[in-house]
Amino acid sequence: MEKKLILLVEDNKKVQKLNRRMLERNNFTVGAAVTLADARAFLTRQVPAAIILDIGMPDGNGLDFLRELRKTSKILVLILTGYRADLDFAMELTAGLDDLLPKPYEFEVLLGRLKRLLQNAHLNLIGILKNIFTSGSLSSATANGHSTVVLSYTM
């Protein structure tokens, strides 16, 4: 079974270690970055299915990183933040985030949100392919974490 790669960008090493362990137990492969510079370097080598991003990083603001990322990528991004009182949710949405989870949070909630984002991305891809191939039929199935897309069309 292919594991989805998740980039975990978190400067708190205890939180990072716990989240990494829990994600790995739930069949994800996890890349880790403790700074935004580490995250940028990781992204030059690999493309994750999603990024779990803390806003308050030692070398910059996670939202600025997200805006920079959105210039070249549509990688799914779930933001974790302890800045509840200061958040302007509309600003975050315009920055291009896919979901937001305030700290503290339960790991099960983080996992559920991540799985929902990945499933929605899969469904969006199916919709795009259906629009491209309007003269045929398209079906999809997911089993054991693998997605299969079948395209039938006539010329």
DSSP state of 3: P
At 37-73, the pLDDT tens digits run 999 999 999 999 999 999 889 999 888 899 899 899 9
145, burial (CB in 10 Å: exposed 0-12, middle 13-18, buried 19+): exposed
Residue 90 confidence class, pLDDT cut points 50, 70, 90: very low
pLDDT at 85: 46
Residue found under tokens 């805006």: 67
Domain holding 132, by residue range, is: 4-153
DSSP state of 146: E
pLDDT at 140: 56
> Cα 85–20–103 angle (5° rounding)?
10
Domain containing residue 146: CATH number: 3.40.50.2300
At 144-154, the pLDDT tens digits run 555 555 555 54
At 6-31, the pLDDT tens digits run 999 999 999 999 999 999 999 999 99
* Total number of domains constituting the chain: 1
* Alpha-carbon torsion angle 149, 150, 151, 154, nearest 10: 180
| Alpha-carbon gap, residue 93 to 28, rounded angstroms | 26
Tokens of 154: 């006539």
pTM tops 0.85, yes or no: no
Per-state percent for the chain, helix, strand, coil, to nearest 5: 40, 30, 30
